[in-house]
């Protein structure tokens, strides 16, 4: 019962932020929403009691991939504002 | 073996647990009592972290003053102990400025993404026998994964401020953070090879007892190189003074939080000192025996968690004092020296340490010697 509610909340957050990834006007905002999606996925893994995969997900995707994406976006010229 | 069971045991010993549980059971809502107990744990943890951060700011100023042969803060309270309270009140009273060309949403979000992992990292840290919020099966991995979130927030803070100095500071901070996380994790893995478990409680338990009745079985004696690598890497990851490029005052004014004021600045400040305490606590857990220490057998059972907490705090504050002492003694290195040290010296040494440790553990496990 309670785990169903938690599952609904986490999946709503994941789905909404993945929609926002393609909807956001600025690239940096998309990257932040992508981080939200990936953390939501880690939450789903935690619900399945797969702690190891959940924290590896946070370490690899949020820690490394999002940092790399943000680095790339910030070091290139801001073209999206024109 | 966690704080939840400790609270239940104390309530049972006081004779209060059964009646209260029956009241909740009568309404069919036992989980409400569980939620209340967990909430109490979280409140105690938050209060502990806040008081520790306030004490650490006072201690930092006092240690700097001691090295420079001055008194430091002396006016507010006995020996200036209430100075952090006044600082907090001052920061709360300041105007909260958001620069006109800043990205307002990310500018407001970034302090929270820095602050929340700094608190979350305390969940699997064993403060003493029973004194742990949750003994996660993958505690060490959890600590490393949660610490990996902060570079994202630092980049966001530096970029959202729309200031070239803060962007430069953020890029330096992230470059440094990424290059020193690798030797940090490799040194921690070498410890895990000995214990065969990622749980922090198992790591502390593996260090109980002594060799020859004198030398404590701490991993610092089995892993001297790993200990040095872990200590240097964690000081570099925190960005404290020998490695403080992210906020080097003479070049970048203050690094990624130049534009922040008031409570948002206070959140960065809180996160920094909470991180200092957390990292020192992890060093103690991995290498210095955690809460282990000689516990006299005549003590009653309820005093054991308290005595172990005292041992843990003594060791942690010794590591914190070392970090502060280093700050006052060593000048800042250059960015190229820092990255060379990280990639060309510390990563190969950490790999060598891991190789030798794995070799020895395999030999010992197969009973060759």
The pLDDT of residue B368: 61
- With cut-offs at 50, 70 and 90, classify the pLDDT of residue B301: confident
The confidence band for A78, taking pLDDT boundaries of 50, 70 and 90, is: low
Interface test with B, best of A55, A56, A77 (most B CBs within 10 A): A55
Mean pLDDT of B338-364: 90
∠ CA B263-B248-B59, nearest 5°, is 60
How close does chain A come to B339, measured CA to CA in Å?
Answer: 17
Question: pLDDT, tens digit, for every residue of B29-41?
Answer: 777 788 888 888 8
For residue B171, the chain A residues in CB contact (below 8 A) are 71, 74-75
Residue recorded with tokens 């007892």: B209
pLDDT of residue A82: 43
Query: Nearest to residue B1, comparing CAs of B91, B107, B121, B133?
Result: B133
Residue B367 phi/psi, 5-degree rounding, is 65, 35
The architecture (CATH level 2) of A2-75 comes to: Up-down Bundle (1.20)
User: What pLDDT does B219 receive?
Assistant: 85
Nearest CA of chain B to the CA of A6: how many Å? 15
pLDDT of amino acid A80:
53
Chain A residue numbers with beta carbons less than 8 Å from the beta carbon of B145 are: 55-56, 58-59, 63
Nearest alpha-carbon partner for B88 in B271, B272, B275, B266: B266
Q: So what's the pLDDT on residue B281?
A: 92
Q: Is the pLDDT of residue B163 over 70?
A: yes
Cα angle: B116, vertex B174, B161; to 5 degrees = 70
Q: What is the mean pLDDT of residues A28-46?
A: 91
Residues 6+ apart with CB under 8 A from B302: B10, B13
**3-state DSSP assignment of residue B138:** coil
| Bigger pLDDT: B348 vs B221 | B348
Name the pLDDT band for A17 (thresholds 50, 70, 90). Answer: very high
Rounded to an integer, what distance in angstroms lies between the CA atom of residue B293 and that of residue B148?
32
Q: Which of B268, B263, B260 is nearest to B114 (CA)?
A: B268
Looking at chain A, which residue has its C-alpha nearest residue B109?
Answer: A32
Q: Closest Cα of chain B to A18: distance in Å?
A: 18
Tell me, what's the ipTM? Answer: 0.87
Cα dihedral sign for A7, A10, A16, A20?
Answer: negative
* Chain A residue whose CA is closest to B174: A67
Which of B103, B105, B152 is opposite residue A62, by nearest beta carbon? B152
DSSP for residue B148 = T
Task: Determine the residue of chain A that is closest to B185 in CA distance.
Answer: A59
Mutation for B interface: A26, A49, A58, most B CBs within 10 A: A58
The total number of residues written for chain B in this structure: 369
Q: Which residues of B touch A (CB under 8 A)?
A: 31, 103, 105-106, 109, 136-138, 141-142, 144-146, 148-149, 151-152, 155-156, 159, 167, 171, 174, 178
Q: Do B148 and A59 touch (CB under 8 A)?
A: yes
pLDDT digits (tens, 9 = 90+) for B63-111: 989 888 888 888 887 888 888 888 888 888 888 888 887 788 888 888 8
Chain B neighbors of A64, CB-CB under 8 A: 148, 178
Residues of chain A in Cβ contact (below 8 Å) with chain B = 2, 26, 28-29, 32, 35, 51-52, 55-56, 58-59, 62-64, 66-67, 70-71, 74-75
* Mean pLDDT of all residues in B185-198: 89
Distance from CA of A36 to the nearest CA of B (A): 11
CA distances to B63, B65, B276 from B247, rounded to whole Å, are 20, 21, 16
A45 CA: distance to closest CA in chain B (Å): 14
- A58: distance to nearest CA of chain B, Å? 6
């Amino acid at each position: 019962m309670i785990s169903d509610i938690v599952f609904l909340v986490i999946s709503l957050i994941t789905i909404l932020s993945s929609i926002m990834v393609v909807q956001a006007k600025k690239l940096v905002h998309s990257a932040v929403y992508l981080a939200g999606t990936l953390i939501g996925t880690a939450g789903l893994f935690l619900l399945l009691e797969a702690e190891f995969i959940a924290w590896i997900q946070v370490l690899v995707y949020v820690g490394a991939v999002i940092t790399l994406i943000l680095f790339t976006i910030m070091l290139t010229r801001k073209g999206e504002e024109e | 073996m966690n704080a939840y069971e400790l609270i239940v045991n104390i309530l049972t010993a006081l004779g209060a647990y059964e009646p209260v549980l029956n009241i909740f059971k009568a309404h069919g809502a036992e989980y409400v009592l569980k939620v209340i107990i967990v909430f109490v744990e979280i409140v105690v943890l938050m209060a502990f972290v806040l008081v520790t951060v306030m004490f650490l700011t006072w201690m930092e100023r006092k240690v700097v003053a001691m090295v420079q042969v001055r008194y430091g803060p002396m006016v507010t309270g006995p020996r200036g102990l209430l100075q952090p309270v006044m600082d907090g009140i001052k920061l709360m009273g300041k105007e909260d400025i958001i620069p006109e060309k800043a990205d307002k949403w990310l500018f407001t979000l970034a302090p929270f993404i820095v602050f929340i992992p700094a608190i979350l990292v305390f969940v699997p840290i064993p403060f003493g026998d029973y004194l742990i919020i949750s003994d996660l099966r993958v505690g060490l991995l959890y600590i490393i994964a949660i610490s990996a979130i902060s570079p994202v927030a630092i980049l966001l803070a530096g970029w959202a401020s729309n200031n070239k100095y803060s962007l430069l500071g953020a890029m330096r901070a992230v470059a440094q953070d990424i290059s020193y996380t690798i030797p940090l994790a490799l040194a921690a893995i070498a410890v895990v090879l000995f214990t065969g478990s990622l749980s922090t409680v198992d790591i502390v338990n593996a260090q109980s007892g002594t060799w020859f009745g004198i030398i404590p079985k701490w991993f610092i004696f089995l892993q001297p190189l790993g200990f040095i690598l872990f200590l240097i890497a964690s000081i570099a990851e925190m960005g404290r003074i020998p490695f403080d490029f992210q906020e080097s005052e003479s070049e970048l004014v203050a690094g990624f939080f130049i534009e922040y004021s008031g409570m948002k600045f206070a959140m960065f400040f809180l996160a920094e000192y909470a991180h200092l305490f957390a990292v020192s606590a992890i060093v103690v857990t991995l290498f210095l025996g955690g809460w282990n220490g000689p516990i006299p057998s005549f003590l009653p059972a309820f005093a054991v968690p308290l005595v172990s907490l005292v041992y843990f705090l003594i060791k942690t504050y010794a590591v914190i004092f070392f970090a502060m002492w280093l700050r006052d003694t060593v000048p800042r290195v250059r960015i190229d020296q820092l990255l060379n040290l990280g990639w060309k010296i510390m990563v190969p040494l950490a790999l060598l340490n891991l190789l030798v440790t794995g070799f020895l553990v395999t030999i010992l496990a197969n009973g060759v010697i």
